[in-house]
Chains A and B, each alone.
Chain A
């Protein structure tokens, strides 16, 4: 049960709390105590929502890929860095509000900047960015760099499992014919469903027919823009059989909200059977429709 479901009573409680806050803001005279409490509420509520988010179903969906662990640990690293910075700056802010509220300590002091301070607040973010930059190299390389792309397995850059085509406003998967060729009249089209075998390195080519789209598999922590005119190779490995969302993560037009698909991870025999059924369907002479009518 998601916290964001409007039929959940939690919404009403939150609304009441915010309304109460607004009434307070409107009526209470802003003494030092009230101001400090109000300002301090911001970081406290902010941190609290993060702590509670997994419970409310607002955290990451289940990770079912080999890329996921690296992506998640990077996310957590950045989240901790941001959280510490956020809390420290908020503490500073609350301290200033507490210390200097209502007080006119005399004439203001004019300064022309501080060299030392500027050095510090340039160096700290620079170090933070460097940490992130170095920390992400391994994961980024694994997902995007050519020398980490799968070779030797059934699917590679030259032998992709499918072409994934994005267009306004749908996903279309094209699988090769029985000889592995895409330049064939017998390619298999699978609208909406991207079917792949489990525990296999999957390499596919991403294309767009019209505008920018973004191929996003939240459960596999995989995202890549689809650019018209470009064929973009991508790879992943799914570790669990199941059905997962495939969504467009780039505002691509009025129907963007509808642009959904589905990643179906099947066991290897099931995948082969699915493919064989699809190939057999191309040979249909329509008599099955006659039988269905009787």
Chain B
């Protein structure tokens, strides 16, 4: 082979290739330092006060930390009550805690089996579990130290066995009792949720623009698929349900491939993003001129928290057995559905439930001849659901549909039918009527589901 390449050139090529290879094999790429930003709304509100923008961001940083290290500020009165929102484990019921321990045992079956056998060298925690990795790393470091000394001949096998015996119980507890810190959940969020929901939870991630419907913006604290009345903030169970089952008919998929513990951790982090977003909105609206005084900030923060604390009071349940879906009930539901003085579903959802009722769209404000879609609270075009498809985003059980009818859908034109009253103040649509409508609506999709 005749190669006229001078030696220096060949050296450069070899060095370059070598460097590339080493770079490609770097086992732990550095984690990017992440930062929250202000929402477009806040920026617009504070357009006249550029200094206030930085001030607000700094204030929020003190209250919620950064995406790399999210942390709630704990007000003084909570310290007295021994309340710490950073420790979400304490919020869970004992039964739930036991379920999570069982979930951990399943998710960490491989490392736990290795620990049981005393094979510390074979144990690897999940990559997202940063704090678990660190805690395990400490136990592991001691083990590795003795193992190295054993190689060198200064320590014996019995020393290693003794170390394993001493630390085995702690190590096993580390895995079985693991509950993700907010930092670990933020890491999960970064890998699984961020590309749609965005780093601030504003639904503006990089893949969001491909999606219809658009991903939920948590920053208003408004969530659609809850079991609650009066647009209350969601319970943990509501958020968990969406993570577990996904939202049928949208790009929100089921995240059951992660353990229950990981999903509970994601619930914590979504709540943090939502509380942060709402606090930001309220502060930007009300306190910009006063310059975010500490009292005002604390009040806004506690105000948002108080809404979340109350959510369990708003659960909608029906006291009694659900009426059977007999043909008479369905027929009754059909009449109610079409009753323009009562439930009046027909005005938006149309006679056949196709979502083509006369009120489904509104006239073009620019005077165009074609009516345009209405917009929801987030500013996205929104049409009434086509009820013949049998795709129910908030869950397909009758009780889920009942709740949608009872309380309406947060952020949309779907009204709360429990609040429609006649002049005497009596409910126009009773609970029994709601069930009849539920059964009629369900019957619309019969045999047409895909």
Contacts and interface: CB of A to CB of B under 8 A. Distances in A.
Does A associate with B in a complex?
Answer: yes
Contact of B322 (A23, A182, A259, A283): A283
Closest 3 CB pairs of A and B: A183-B447, A286-B317, A293-B312
A262 interface: yes
B399 interface: yes
25 contacts: A1-B122, A1-B124, A6-B28, A7-B28, A15-B21, A15-B22, A19-B22, A22-B21, A26-B11, A27-B14, A185-B325, A185-B390, A185-B442, A191-B253, A209-B450, A259-B253, A285-B321, A286-B315, A286-B317, A287-B317, A287-B318, A289-B235, A289-B317, A290-B317, A292-B93
Contact of B253 (A11, A19, A258): A258
Interface in B215-269: 227, 235, 237, 245-246, 248, 251, 253-254, 256-257
Nearest to A207: B450
Interface string A265-294: 000000000000000011111110110110
Most B C-beta atoms less than 10 A away, residue of A12, A170, A187: A170
Contacts of B49: none
Interface residues of A, number: 49
Nearest to B320: A285
Nearest to B444: A185
A289 B315 contact: yes
Interface majority SS (helix, strand, loop, mixed), chain A: mixed
B162 interface: no
Given A26-B11, A286-B316, 15 more contacts: A22-B21, A23-B14, A170-B253, A183-B447, A192-B257, A254-B210, A255-B251, A259-B253, A282-B397, A283-B398, A285-B319, A286-B227, A286-B315, A289-B237, A293-B312
Interface in A61-79: none
Most B C-beta atoms less than 10 A away, residue of A27, A260, A289: A289
A85 interface: no
A29 B4 CA distance: 12
B117 interface: no
A185 B443 contact: yes
Interface in B362-401: 390, 396-399
Contacts of A1: 122, 124
B399 A286 contact: yes
Given A207-B450, A284-B399, A169 B253 contact: yes
Contacts of B403: 286
Interface in A187-209: 187, 189, 191-193, 207, 209
Contacts of B124: 1, 5, 7
Contacts of A184: 446-447
Nearest to B14: A26
Given A7-B124, A286-B317, A286-B318, A192 B254 contact: yes
A187 B449 contact: yes
Given A282-B397, A289-B227, A191 B14 contact: no
Contacts of B31: none
B177 to A, nearest CB: 22
A184 B390 CA distance: 10
Contacts of B40: none
Contacts of B402: 286
Most A C-beta atoms less than 10 A away, residue of B313, B320, B396, B442: B396
A220 interface: no
Contacts of B248: 172, 189, 191
A284 B17 CA distance: 64
Nearest to B25: A15
B25 A293 contact: no
Contact of A169 (B227, B237, B251): B251
A174 B390 CA distance: 12
A283 B323 CA distance: 10
A185 B210 CA distance: 32
B27 A7 contact: yes
A15 to B, nearest CB: 4
B245 to A, nearest CB: 5
A234 interface: no
A29 B10 CA distance: 12
A165 interface: yes
Nearest to B321: A285
B25 A12 contact: yes
B412 to A, nearest CB: 21
B13 interface: yes
A282 B24 contact: no
Given A29-B1, A191-B245, A285-B399, A15 B24 contact: yes
A19 B23 CA distance: 12
Interface string A4-33: 011100011001001100110011011000
Interface in B5-29: 10-11, 13-14, 17-18, 21-22, 24-25, 27-28
B25 A11 contact: yes
A142 interface: no
A168 interface: yes
Nearest to A172: B248
Contacts of B237: 289, 292
Given A22-B17, A185-B443, A285 B27 contact: no
Interface in A27-71: 27, 29-30
Interface string A198-237: 0000000001010000000000000000000000000000
B97 interface: no
B207 interface: yes
